[in-house]
Amino acid sequence: MTSGSSPQSSAPELASFTQAHPFKLTEPPNVNWKVGDGLPKTPLGQGWKADEELGWKTWDMAQTSASDATKILNCTVIPRPIAFVSTLSSKNQPNLAPFSFFQVVAYNPPIISVSFRLSPRQPKNTRDNILATKEFVVNLISEPFVEAANETSVEAPADVSEWDVSGLAQEPSTHVKPARVKESAVSLECELFQSQDIFPDGATVPSATLVLGRVKYVHVRNSVLRPDGLQADPAKLRPISRISGLTYARLGEGFDLKRPEWNDVKQVLKAKL
């Protein structure tokens, strides 16, 4: 989206954003579900079952264009957390940009992944900076500054700092050279662990690069921590995720589901046989 454009200009009138919309826990969708029940016979379950009659549309991805594959995957693998990545070029030019192909990979050692889709039309400065300097910071985006974060997705020249575009503040990092975003409640200082270029079949130019970063330091605002001083409270963190197109999402409701114990499951299965 270009700077200053309005994704709502051609859309129907939207409800105002409700700032007082705290994340809350509810009961799970099917509180009476038991081992082996499958799809429950609730109104939601029955409606889901009825939709089977409409069938499935199937794509052979080997015969699907890259453009269509992008649309299919972007709108189905959702919601996606967003890595708001801060880097420095080899000439110390700062860069800041959001990427939603992002996830935790391992805890020991702590590894995160960020994937960059490449285009011959516009180089990915963040990707190039990480490969050149081996350092970066992943900041998480929260509701209060999502517009500022989104603005950094503008395709600016390499000599323009997205920090200036966003108006966000730089906070010195502890271990790496790139600054972290002061407004971010969570920042992960990373060193490049490994990278892998991904090539289309038969191509010599990569279409994407997967970067694995080893997390060296984690910064979490005290104000979003739970009383144990270790875990973040999602209601206070107010994280933003990516859907598809121009659409972002926030947390609304959650529910707990007990992790099953095999001894309990075994007894139920035995009784059913």
Q: What is the pLDDT of residue 95?
A: 94
DSSP H helix total and E strand total for the chain: 7, 14
Q: What is the pLDDT of residue 10?
A: 55
Name residues whose C-beta falls within 8 Å of residue 36's C-beta, 6 or more positions apart in sequence: 268, 269, 272
Answer yes or no: are the C-beta atoms of 89 and 133 closer than 8 Å.
Answer: yes
Residue of 213, 238, 211, 212 whose CA lies nearest to 223: 238
Both tokens of 222, joined, read 């005290």
Say if pTM beats, i.e. exceeds, 0.75.
yes
Q: What is the pLDDT of residue 2?
A: 39
Q: What is the DSSP string of 1-64?
A: --TT--TTTTSPPPPPP-S----EEE--S-TT--TT--S--SHHHHHHHHGGGG------GGGS
Q: What is the pLDDT of residue 3?
A: 41
- CA–CA distance from 250 to each of 4, 71, 225, 237, 242 (Å)? 23, 21, 18, 10, 9
The side-by-side arrangement of strands in the sheet containing 208-220 is: 94-99, 83-88, 135-139, 186-198, 208-220, 110-117, 102-107
Q: What is the pLDDT of residue 121?
A: 73
**Could you tell me whether strands 253-255 and 24-26 are parallel, antiparallel, or unpaired per DSSP bridges?**
parallel
Residuewise pLDDT in 10s, the chain (273 residues): 334 444 544 557 888 888 887 788 999 999 999 999 999 999 999 999 999 999 999 999 999 999 999 999 999 999 999 999 999 999 999 999 999 999 999 999 999 999 999 987 777 899 999 999 999 999 999 999 999 999 999 988 877 899 999 999 999 999 999 999 999 999 999 999 999 999 999 999 999 999 999 999 999 999 999 999 999 999 999 999 999 999 999 999 999 999 999 999 999 998 887
Answer yes or no: are the C-beta atoms of 80 and 241 closer than 8 Å.
Answer: yes
